Amino acid sequence: MRLRKKPNLPARTEKCAHLLVAEPETFRGRWHSEFQCDDLHIELGCGKGRFTVETAKAAPESFIVALEKSLSVMIIALERASKEGLTNIRFIDALADNLLEYFAPGEISRIYINFCDPWPANRHAKRRLTHRRFLELYKLVLHPEGEIHFKTDNLPLFDYSLREFSRCGFNIVDVTRDLHKDGTVGVMTDYEMKFHSQGLPIYRARCLANNPLAFPISSNDDPNDE
């Protein structure tokens, strides 16, 4: 499905240019010093940015860099952040494939992966943001005590992702298969609010990079997810 171009996109982007990092590779290894932050978090696929903006507001001591491959989608996130006057947030118009070009080894303390494309066909498994080729990349840029926070509404993707986290040596310390069962927990994305309003369960996992212990997974391995 082709995304409809947003009206006046260049003009709208220009108004938020102070939040958009045009050459992120120039900050590689310098994010902490450049933005005076101890904790650097990134979000992969921020969409319209509700989660990004609300998380930045709730944690002013952290610095959040959000990546999104579509500027037509991300413009809403840029405008939300600009309206709030946030200084602890920046955006990159790019894919997750290029993380190591933008961030030095060990530079990131947390990665958020929220409601990513499940790419359900087995032949597309390598495109999933929780496929091992991405997880090995995340391990390079994550601090030894860093972590990944993963949320999805897609149960097959969730089970698949738990297996991949385990295979790649992440310690899965927190798993829930109905995050908001007893009331809303944490900041929701736009998609999450929609799914929750429809009564759909939200699946969440928190994974640590510093411990190779594997979380016990009962699901069978997928023979075609290589």
163-199 tens-digit pLDDT: 999 999 999 999 999 999 999 999 999 999 999 989 9
Domains parsed from the chain with CATH numbers? 34-208 (3.40.50.150)
Residue 217, pLDDT > 50, answer no
Q: Which two tokens stand for residue 148?
A: 């990944």
65-99 tens-digit pLDDT: 999 999 999 999 999 999 999 999 999 999 999 99
Residue 12, pLDDT > 50, answer yes
Q: Please tell me the distance from the alpha carbon of residue 119 to that of residue 127, in angstroms, as a whole number.
A: 7
pLDDT at 7: 72
What is the torsional sign of CA 119, 101, 91, 142?
positive
Q: Please tell me the distance from the alpha carbon of residue 182 to that of residue 17, in angstroms, as a whole number.
A: 40
Lowest mean pLDDT among 55-59, 178-182, 220-224: 220-224
Question: Helices marked H in 59-211 — which ranges?
Answer: 71-84, 99-102, 132-141, 155-167, 190-197
% of the chain with per-residue pLDDT over 70: 90
pLDDT at 54: 96
**Given pLDDT bands bounded at 50, 70 and 90, which one contains residue 5?**
low
pLDDT at 213: 40
**Given pLDDT bands bounded at 50, 70 and 90, which one contains residue 2?**
very low
pLDDT at 219: 41
145 contacts 106 by C-beta, under 8 angstroms: no
109-136 tens-digit pLDDT: 999 999 999 999 999 999 999 999 999 9
**What residues are labeled active site?**
117
Bigger pLDDT: 212 vs 29: 29
Beta strands in the chain, from DSSP E residues, in sequence order = 39-44, 62-68, 89-93, 108-114, 142-152, 171-176, 203-208
